[in-house]
């Protein structure tokens, strides 16, 4: 900028917005929603697996209960949730 040249208010606002955005990216980072979905799936998997294991010796009187679908469902949720948590976990940019 040359001496005596003034910035318009619009140019000042744009310059400030650019600096503000770059400062936000340096200090604050958003977590991906998939990380939280992975946490939820993992928590649900633990709950379902725990309740299914507690019913192992006395399965409910329903069709195909001998296959213990709650155990398989809990394990499946744990695996999928664990994958999402590990894949989308927050990482630092520092080396």
Of the candidates 25, 39, 44, 45, the one whose C-alpha atom is nearest the C-alpha of residue 88 is 39
> What pLDDT is stored for residue 5 in this prediction?
56
Q: Where are the domains of the chain?
A: 9-87
The span from the CA of 56 to the CA of 36, in Å, is 30
The Cα-based distances of 90 to 9, 29, 60, 77, 80 in angstroms read 38, 9, 41, 21, 18
* Rounded (10°) angle between helices 33-54 and 69-87: 160
Q: Cα 67 to the chain's mean position, in Å?
A: 32
Per-residue pLDDT of the chain (95 residues), as tens digits, is: 555 556 667 776 777 776 666 655 555 678 899 999 999 999 999 999 999 999 998 888 888 888 999 999 999 999 999 999 999 998 876 55
């Amino acid at each position: 900028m040359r001496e005596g040249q003034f910035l318009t208010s619009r140019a000042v606002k744009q310059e400030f917005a650019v600096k503000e955005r770059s400062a936000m990216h340096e200090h604050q980072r958003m977590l991906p929603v998939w990380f939280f979905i992975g946490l939820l799936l993992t928590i649900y998997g633990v709950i379902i697996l725990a309740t299914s294991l507690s019913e192992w010796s006395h399965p409910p009187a329903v069709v195909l209960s001998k296959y213990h679908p709650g155990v398989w469902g809990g394990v499946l949720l744990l695996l999928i949730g664990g994958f999402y948590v590990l894949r989308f976990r927050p990482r630092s940019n520092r080396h």
